[in-house]
Structures are given as structure tokens and as C-alpha cells.
Structure 1
């Protein structure tokens, strides 16, 4: 008789982390504060950036198709002044009883509100907010990398039954910061963390739609493999970037003896963590297991990681956790 229970979850042989909003803090709170300072509808700016995809300024910057220069800020400024997005948000607010009459509906209302958006100030506000490690996930990643490598050291690559070793990778939508770049205040911008192998004369860090860059230690050496969108010319949620991530993780897994020299990782042996639903949706369609990381609740994702690699509760982080992060 067939069991009605769901099949067992495959053993996790690879963990794949988004950076901004997962390993380091998300700039979304800074965006919200910026919106409030200009009396913009909550969520308008992020919605406008997303609506410009796939060929908005931010998306092109993350694919390495634009430089971080005045041309970018001019295009970015146009993207965040999107009357269609504004009209939809005003209509929704009215349907929910948050607005009355014609307030916000007129073109002059849109023009008056959005002309106060300073594209440079907005961009650098997001970048400054995203230079700090997440207090739960960042130390958990450090512990996981050490654990995965310790387990692989004890693994026998030719054994029929392998142990519970795993590899740890990162997949980040990120931008390249030119060397010596200055923010809107004229201050030299310290990205905090170098994400990915920099091009000549440039440094790199994660960006806003994916979260943001920044922490006190170099991130790429921490991972067994690191995929940086601006260096690849591909960004999430393009299915091709998940296929490439699986290839890179497979190479790392072979090198560490997690799989045999002629074996490949299956997508369902990879757990991918991201804070953006659209990125996770396509990842699941590509066969990866996923975990949604909620802003302000990252300790819940750490609980999921503890279960995925088979360590006791609390092994990767102190007290906390709860509901919310789901495989």
C-alpha cells in the first residue's frame, strides 16, 4: 500500500545563499524611511524599481551592462518616477479607505511628490544601510562553512555511502563600484565587503533589489563558490543563473568529496535562501529547495538551516527562532 505521507526530503549537499537581505542587512527599511521623509506611499520606490525590470537601470547595473555614473543615476531617476505604479498604488489606497477624493490622483500630485526624489541620495542611502552583517545569518554561515569543510575532510570520495558533508555557495545580484567612488555627499564610499572577484580598478558589493553589501570581513573567501551577477551578466530570477549555480556547486562538491568525480548534484539536494519571492519562485521551478528569509526574522531561517544540515537546535545561533521560514 502506498503511503499518503510526503516523500522524505533529500539530504542537503549544498547550501546557496543570497547576500543582501540574507547574509547582510536589507536596505528596504532605509527605503521605507526615505519614502516617509518625502511622504510617498509605502512601497512605492521598491515597486517602481521592480516595475522597470528586466531592463531598468538597476537591473542593467546588476548585470554589468551599466557603469555607476551620471548616466546610471539619470536612468535610475526616471525609473523611480513611474506614474503607472503611482496610479495603481493610489487606487489601491483609496479602495482600502486610506485616501479620499482626488488626492494623489492628479498628474500634479504625482509630479510634486516624485520630483523630490533624489536618485543619487536614494541609491547611496540604500547602499549605506546594507553594509552590515545580519546578526543571525552571517555567523551561521561562518559556522556552516567550517562544519561543511570539517565533514568533507572526513569523507571518503569513493565510499558507496557518503557522510553528511556539504558545500556552501552564494548567488548575489550585485553591482560593481568603481575604485574611489564617492557618494552623494562627496564622501569616499567604503563598501565594507568585497563581493566577488573585482574587475581591474573596481570593487564590488551587493545591491538593493537583492539586499545590499557590507560587513566587516571579506565574503567570497568564506564560500566554496560565489556567483556575482555583474560578473556573470546574468541576474536572478533568470533560470540560467540557477543552472550555472548548480554547475558551480557541483564542481565544489566534487572537489570536496561530497559527490563522486563523475556525479552531479541534483537540484533538490540544494537549499537556496533568498528574501525575494520572485527569485525563490523561479528557483523552485528549477528544482531547488527554497527558504524565504523574512526581514527582521532571519533567526527563523537559521532554524531551517540547523534542520537541513542535521545539527541540534541552537547550534548555529542563540535563543530565538520560531515560525516563518519554511522549506
Structure 2
């Protein structure tokens, strides 16, 4: 029996930030995928991970990331990401799904994010849909650390087999799946929601 549905934010409810990465890479004349590649280096303890756990300030993150990039021969100012690229609007299909799910299931939001004003403003319009909101920057844990999934389940008062988790990154889904949570890899809203309705036994969001 499903008791809880847990959503990621970026790449699930709103489009992936990868598009902003691509624009930034183009501005600095870098090969596509450079930022993601840098983030995969020492991915549990690099600048990105520390910022997502709230261990460094925005200024500290920018300095650390730019230094890490230089060590790999990459010249970039990651600070441009905060000023030049507004966060996109939520997918309408996901909002419709949340409206249908609310009250029928416990809803959780589990996001790796930065403790910035823009992130707080981006989350504000959708917070009312969720019973539980878990932000990495607020609790000092981040996906794919197993403890953050358990923390979310504890708040939702759900066992792993009673939950479904939607995320766009396989690396974040693997620990949840290993724990017994049913997972959906989100490539696009339509196919992800079809998979969700199938797991729930209801293929309509109306």
C-alpha cells in the first residue's frame, strides 16, 4: 500500500538546471557537460556538495568551485549562475498531479538545494502542496546520502515500501531503491506521471 509520494524539485517539478549549465558553458567557451563533469569529481565533498549541505556561504562556494575548476584546467566563474539565469516555472503537468495527490497521499519534497534567496522564492509557490519539505541546505544532508531518505521517511511516518520517489538523476534513485522505496526516473513529466499513476493504480490526474 502506498502512503507517501516524494518529489525532487529541479528536473522533476521544474526543468533541470542543466540548461543553465549549458548556457554558462557556452558563455565561457567550454565543452558541453563541463560543469556536470566537475561536479562528479569528489562528489561527496566538493564545493557543490558542501554548498548543498549548507557548509559554506555562496561566496565561499563560488571561490571553492572556481578553484576546483582551475585545478582541472577550466576557467569559469560559477557565480554567473546566480545572477544570469532565472529559475524556470514549474511544469503545469506536475502542478496538476500535486493538486490531485494532495489529501490522498502524504506528499514530500526532497531537494538538494542552495541556501539562497532565489531558491527560497522558487520553492514558495509550491510549498503548500507538501506535508514535508526536506532541503539539503537546511539539514546538512544531501542526496545520495542514505540518511536523508530515512530522515524524509521518518517525517512522513512511512516505511520504505510505502513510498514512491521521483528524481531525474539515477545516482539519487539508487540508494532509495536499495532501501526498498519504489523509484521513478524522470526524463519528462508525461512519462514520469504515467509511471506514477501505474504504481498508484490510477492513471488519471483529474
**TM-score, structure 1 length as denominator?**
0.58
In structure 2, list runs of 5 or more residues that go unmatched.
Answer: none
State the alpha-carbon separation in 2 of the partners of residues 304 and 81 from structure 1: 42
State the 1:67 CA deviation.
1.5
- Indicate conservation of the 8 Å contact 2:136/2:142, yes or no: yes
Q: Does 1:309 align with 2:197?
A: no
- The answer for the alignment partner of 2:24 in structure 1 is 34
Cα deviation, residue 33, structure 1? 2.6
CA distance 1:144–1:64, change in 2 (3 Å) = same
Change over 3 Å in CA distance of 1:124–1:59 after alignment to 2:
farther
Deviation string, structure 1 residues 171-219 (Cα, Å, up to 9, x no partner): 11111115xxxxxxxxxxxx2xx6xxxxxxxxx36xxxxxxxx37x522
Gaps of 5+ in 1: 1-10, 84-109, 149-165, 179-190, 195-203, 206-213, 251-264, 318-327
Question: How has the CA–CA distance of structure 1 residues 123 and 56 changed in structure 2, closer, same or farther, with 3 Å as cutoff?
Answer: farther
Q: Which has the larger radius of gyration?
A: 1
Match for residue 174 of structure 1 among 94, 99, 113: 113
Does 2:52 align with 1:76?
Answer: no
How many equivalent pairs are there?
206
Offset at residue 49 of structure 1 (A) = 1.7
Q: Which residue of 1 aligns with 2:80?
A: 121
Alignment counterpart, residue 288 of structure 1, candidates 177, 181, 189: 181
Cα pair 2:97 2:205 within 8 Å, conserved: yes
Q: Distance in 2 between matches of 1:291 and 1:35?
A: 29
User: Residue 174 of structure 1 aligns to a residue in which SS?
Assistant: coil
Q: Equivalents in 1 of 2:127, 2:51: separation in Å?
A: 20
Moved over 6 A (4+): none
SS at match of 1:271: strand
The alignment partner of 1:290 has SS state of strand
1:68 Cα deviation (Å)?
Answer: 1.6
Bigger RCO (CA 8 Å, 6+ sep): 2
Counterpart position of 1:13: 3
**Any idea what SS the aligned residue of 1:311 has?**
coil
CA contact (8 A) 1:12 1:270 kept: yes
- 1:276 and 2:165 are equivalent in the alignment: no
Q: CA–CA distance in 1 between the matches of 2:81 and 2:167? A: 23
Residue 142 of structure 1 and its aligned partner are, at CA, apart by 2.4
User: What is the alpha-carbon distance in structure 1 between the residues aligned to residue 13 and residue 71 of structure 2?
Assistant: 31
Which residue does the alignment assign to 2:142?
235
Whether the aligned pair in 2 keeps the contact of 1:61 and 1:175 (CA below 8 Å) is: yes
Deviations 1:224-256 (A, max 9, x none): 111111111100010111111111111xxxxxx
**1: CA distance, partners of 2:115 / 2:24:** 24
CA root-mean-square deviation: 2.1
